[in-house]
Every structure is written in structure tokens, then in C-alpha cells.
Structure 1
């Protein structure tokens, strides 16, 4: 009888745990956040564009000043922009915004 009552008690606890309060509130907060704020992915694209343009200007300036070994500069600016694009996609995937 003790095992049956313990089993029944555990089943009742599982049923009450299935209906957690706050899930709809969290969904509403997520929707409000997505509607009100600039998208993280869009922000990362804007920053990547700024990195790309700044890098292009600096590399062009160095090339015109006679510095012809700019391979590391090109790679650094390219990967900075690429990292920003990937980080935006990563944050979009994690937070779903």
C-alpha cells in the first residue's frame, strides 16, 4: 500500500509540474524584445560593413604610400568583418531574435 501511495503521489507531482507558470510571459517578453530592438544580425552586418570600408581605406592608403606587403592587413580586416557576420548569426540563433 505504501508503494502504491508513493507512486500515486509521484504521478500527481509530475502532472502539476507540466503546467509551469510564466511560459506565456517569457514568450511575450521575447516577442516584445524582437519587435522593439534593432536585430542583432542587422547590427552585425552594419558593423561588418564599417569594418570592411575602414579596412579598405586603410589598405588603399598604405598601398599608395608604398607599403606593398599588406597581406596581413587584408587578412586582419577581412576576418574582422567575417567574425562580425558570424557572431550576429550566432547570437540570432541563440536568442532567436
Structure 2
């Protein structure tokens, strides 16, 4: 009698575990997030490239004008581009994509 009760409970638990709602919806949401995230990652890399190009042009212009302190500008534009690249990598790690 006791074995029958234990095996019956195990069968009911197995049925309950396999009947989880929303698994298909969660997989669909993950696929949509993955498709939109890659475009966001590409956007972050393009934005980082634009920061690098614009920063290089502005620094070169200031250097040709003879501004004595361009070190801050170099660091600011460089770290703006690095931040965009790292933000994309961070989002990829957070969402597990």
C-alpha cells in the first residue's frame, strides 16, 4: 500500500512538472530578443566607430590650432568609444545571448 502511494505521488509530480505553461512563449521572446539585440550590438559598434572618427577629427583640428592641452580630449573620446563597446558586451552578458 505504501509503495503504491509513493509511486502515485511521483507520477502526479511528474505530470505537474511537465505541464509548465509559457515555455513556448519564453522561447519565442528569447528569439525576438536575440534578433533585436544583434542589431543593437551592431548599432553600439557603429556608434563607437563614429565616436572614434569624430574624436580624431576634433583632436586633429585642436592640435593644428595649437591648443596646448589635448590630452583630456584624447582620453574623453577614447573612453567614450570604449564605453560603447563595453556596454554592448555587458548587455550581451546580462541577457545571455
TM-score by length of 1: 0.74
5+ long unaligned stretches in structure 1 = 1-8
Task: Please report how far the alpha carbon of residue 13 of structure 1 lies from its aligned counterpart in structure 2 after TM superposition.
Answer: 6.8
In the alignment, which residue of structure 2 is the partner of 1:4? none
Gaps of 5+ in 2: 1-8
> Which runs of 4 or more aligned residues in structure 1 lie more than 4 Å from their structure 2 counterparts after TM superposition?
12-15
Aligned pair count? Answer: 89
**Number of the residue aligned with 1:3:** none
Greater length-normalized contact order (CA 8 Å, ≥ 6 residues apart): 1
Q: Distance in 2 between matches of 1:95 and 1:80?
A: 23
Going from structure 1 to structure 2, the CA distance change for 1:94 and 1:19 (only over 3 Å counts) comes to: farther
* Length-normalised TM-score, structure 2: 0.74
1:1-97 map, 5 Å = 16=16, 19-35=19-35, 37=36, 39=38, 40-97=40-97
Pick the structure with more helix per residue. 2
| Separation in structure 2 between the aligned mates of residue 93 and residue 38 of structure 1, nearest angstrom | 12
